[in-house]
Structure 1
């Protein structure tokens, strides 16, 4: 799946400058810069505790930043709720997808935003229009489902993620935040999700792809931001960093080198056969390779 360095036709929709978040005396995030432009996939990588979740909560309106500046369309903002973010075109797709497994696909597509017809008190759901709209929007993203009446829980993990992405696009998202969408998926289903991330980019959305997998990020990413212990470890365009370098930053090359040095002092451990620090962690035979 090829990708290209893409620059938006206008300035960034979302821009963070020196943004941080403290909870009392605990600083969870500090000095983070991030820019998301239309038609660009910005990948945010980091290990557990790196600050990815805190960053998501700030951009999606769950929490307010305590330092730095957060701008949308060039205007400094302090979002008070996820609804504020949605009203400004920022949609978040979390790992649990906020779907009802036993409901049909079309009902989940319009969950919370159902279309109706008729006047009160005879107003009723416009089922035909919702089915037609859901089918058209899914097909526009390249998602073809034989039966929209099937429970969404019967779809594969990759298909459910794709439906959630198409739903966000339909309801006017300009920036789409994807929270570890491939974390619990196998190789094939991860490929399905990456395909629709690229499709969202082609439709002009700015995508923030949160992941701990550098291989997945490198397949679709235009810009890479690596967080480490709440601070910015790396911010680089695709042309400026290789997959090996990205993996090294993600895994903490200095720590791996120190660990290898310490293991060399232990009898019975042949450190010559261990991977070098430049390879990093997270490279397994199950990962997708670009």
Structure 2
């Protein structure tokens, strides 16, 4: 690989790690380099690698929660129920809408949803919605208060994030804030929801990779996985640490600026309508 290809690999892995858990849309940021800068797609193997990296990061950070939820879920199968088993079932329930939507709409979204105009629109619309939800939040509930209805509503919101530019973490946090949850609970439930979603996406891409029979360059994939994982781990830690202090305003401002730049590219730059 040339130095420029190594640079692309590291930067794309860094972008994946930093944006997967921030409310600014990782899919949009991974699409934009190819749309705006003409960078070549890194391939399925790279996609699988960065998904493994971000999945490892969230599972390491929430390792105690993940352990407790898995053990409680297994215990619930034997009839021993607890608050942890209830939360585990609610995470599973909230994941179903995204799975169904992905199965039914994946091809349509891949075909129509990757344009700069779509990304600009979703970046702006859901950025404004995030800002409104954060400003109007009531913080009546903690994560322990999440029930079936709220889990389903947050899960339905997560399904919308299949559209590039929406942001999975952004829209699930928005939905939780609108339902009255405090910032920390909204973010933590969003991160727990990310585990089955990222795992499922990685497994699908892994299956596509096996079916394609494409030879993989394992060193850049390993580097990409490591960079994505470490950057995601740092991102989760700092986001939760600073969340109550800074709120959602910096991310809302970023989304609005990014959306306006994308609209300018689409309408003013020759060839920017891709």
TM exceeding 0.5:
no
Greater Rg by CA:
1
Structure with the largest fraction of helix:
2
Structure with the largest fraction of strand:
1
